[in-house]
Amino acid sequence: MQFTQQFLPEVYEKEVERYGKRTVSGFLRMVGAEMPMASDRIVWSEQSRLHIAYDNVITNGATKLRIPVAGNDFTDKDSCPIGPGMTLVVSNGTTTQKAFVTALTDIGTTTVTSVDVSVKVYDPNGTALDANLTSAAALNIFVYGSEFKKGSQDGGTSLDAKFKSFENKPIILRDKYRVNGSDVAQIGWVEVTTEMGTSGYLWYLKSEHEARLRFEDYLEMSMVEAEKAKITNTGTSAIQDGIEGSEGMFAAIEERGLIYNDSDFDGAGGLSQFDDILAELDKQGAIEENMLFLDRQKSLEIDNMLAAQNSYGAGGTSYGVFNNEEDMALNLGFSGFRRGSYDFYKTDWKYLNDSTTRGSIGDIEGVLVPAGTSTVYDEQMGQNIARPFLHVRYRASEAEDRRMKSWITGSVGGNFTSAADEMNVHFLSERALCVQAANNFLLLKKTA
């Protein structure tokens, strides 16, 4: 600013908040929890499926089903969960037959590549598989029971319970704000305000506060976006120098969750597309209550879809995750609706709309997060634990808490730690995100 005349201009002292609320954090606070940990590695295990089913089966003739070893949970006929005496449903989606297992045979010369399951079909036209099944490129099969003749001496297949083990590691986030002693003593003419209500004429206070807000956003954004460093052929980290990364929410859903590409919920087939999602949820954990965090476009699409059905928030929504209080859901920015046996709570996610974050890209349109908790076995604690499906673990002990740590160095502001005529405000956190039961999460993506 330059004063080129002797007259005092009309000065607006207050800073104009042209971008409104600029922070994007709050997502994890709504859907998860934060818990301390004392290790630099998190390991947990999740249940496997209870029943036996395979979807990559072909036929070997009219009386044998061939199941490949690759991608399945067995290595040969002895470890195959299917055994003689079991009864199967065999289908290509249109033709279905019931079959009785008589024997298993390993296929492969030096190593077993697949297992042939010999069957006889419960059919008045013979014991061979239907021609529609033998000509199919892939079959679905599952075990529905067993049958043994009178006087059987031994029967059944002993199966050990299986689980899947997952792990993640925390990352260390750091930032700082630095100001020299002269600027700390300088009074400004602009009255600054911050998102936390701080106001005054000391400009450095605003800069320090914005550094803190930005770092708090980074804490959440890192948990959403983090990626593990890929391992090279030599078994080392692709990044090296101790930078290994971590598994964030998007990476976990891409790896272990559900993905729906290019949805159009307010189009002609919008409701059927949404029902496709319900059908997939049925195949997974069938968690009744789910939260939808959406960008503006996808949120409006669902509004239009529900308006066309004249059922927005009508009657059936239970608001169980909000202590059955509709007002609580509305105060938190959620609107609820029910479809099938599922309750959905929808809200806009600022992170997907902000032009300085995911809003500048637009490839992710929303995420579905199951509400409630999952029971998993914590291998470090040695017991079953109930945790939110989505939660943050941060490093802490009796001597050190690294959830959100800040300290000041320098010689300014009454803190004399060095001869430098400056004040340095340091921020540090060490944390990781746990996405448990990721098969119940859904990512809405735009590819075209």
Query: Could you report the per-residue pLDDT of 77-132, keeping only the tens digit for each?
Result: 988 999 999 999 999 989 999 999 999 999 988 899 999 999 999 987 777 899 99
- Among 58-72, 178-192, 400-414, the minimum mean pLDDT is found in 178-192
Q: pLDDT for 78-89, tens place per residue?
A: 889 999 999 999
Predicted pLDDT of residue 235: 62
- Helix (H) and strand (E) counts in the chain: 9, 23
CATH superfamily, with its number, for domain 1-48+161-285+349-448: Major capsid protein gp5 (3.30.2400.10)
Structure tokens at 431: 């944390």
Predicted pLDDT of residue 253: 96
Predicted pLDDT of residue 155: 78
> 243 in helix, strand or coil?
coil
Domain(s) labelled CATH 3.30.2400.10 in the chain stretch across 1-48+161-285+349-448
Better-scored residue on pLDDT, 21 or 251: 251
> 444 in helix, strand or coil?
strand
Predicted pLDDT of residue 328: 54
> 9 in helix, strand or coil?
coil
Q: Taking 70 as the threshold, does the pLDDT of residue 448 lie above it?
A: yes
Q: pLDDT for 21-64, tens place per residue?
A: 656 667 777 666 788 888 889 998 887 888 899 988 999 989 99
β-pairing, 64-68 vs 53-59, is: antiparallel
Question: Any alpha helices (H) in 105-171, and if so which ranges?
Answer: 131-134
Please tell me the pTM assigned to this model: 0.79
Separation between Cα atoms, residue 143 and residue 53, nearest integer Å: 7
Per-residue pLDDT, averaged over 439-446, amounts to 94
Q: Mind giving me the DSSP string for 43-100?
A: EEEEE--SS-EEEEEEESSSSEEEEESTTSS-SSTTT-S--TTEEEEEESSS-EEEEE
- Among 42-46, 106-110, 156-160, 318-322, the minimum mean pLDDT is found in 318-322
* Band (323; pLDDT cuts 50, 70, 90): low
Better-scored residue on pLDDT, 2 or 400: 400
Predicted pLDDT of residue 73: 82
Better-scored residue on pLDDT, 73 or 369: 369
Domain(s) labelled CATH 2.40.30 in the chain stretch across 53-150
Structural contact between residues 66 and 115, judged by C-beta atoms closer than 8 angstroms: yes
Structure tokens at 1: 């600013």
Residue type, 26: G
Predicted pLDDT of residue 201: 60
278-287 core/surface letters (b: 16 or more CB in 10 A; e: else): eeebeebeeb
Predicted pLDDT of residue 64: 94
9-23 core/surface letters (b: 16 or more CB in 10 A; e: else): eeeeeeeeeeeeebb
β-pairing, 342-348 vs 289-294, is: parallel
Separation between Cα atoms, residue 97 and residue 130, nearest integer Å: 8
Separation between Cα atoms, residue 172 and residue 431, nearest integer Å: 7
Predicted pLDDT of residue 269: 86
Predicted pLDDT of residue 442: 95
Q: Taking 60 as the threshold, does the pLDDT of residue 313 lie above it?
A: no
Predicted pLDDT of residue 330: 52
Q: Taking 70 as the threshold, does the pLDDT of residue 244 lie above it?
A: yes
**Hey, what CATH class is 53-150 in?**
mainly beta
Q: Taking 70 as the threshold, does the pLDDT of residue 339 lie above it?
A: yes
Q: Taking 80 as the threshold, does the pLDDT of residue 186 lie above it?
A: no
Better-scored residue on pLDDT, 379 or 316: 379
Q: What is the mean pLDDT of the chain?
A: 83
Q: Is the dihedral of CA 330, 335, 340, 341 positive or negative?
A: negative
- Nearest C-alpha neighbor of 370 from the set 295, 436, 306, 291: 291
Predicted pLDDT of residue 104: 93
Q: Taking 80 as the threshold, does the pLDDT of residue 154 lie above it?
A: no
Q: Taking 80 as the threshold, does the pLDDT of residue 143 lie above it?
A: yes
Predicted pLDDT of residue 303: 85
Per-residue pLDDT, averaged over 212-227, amounts to 92
Give the DSSP H or E segment for 331.
helix 326-331
Per-residue pLDDT, averaged over 309-325, amounts to 53
- Among 1-5, 270-274, 392-396, the minimum mean pLDDT is found in 1-5
Predicted pLDDT of residue 20: 58
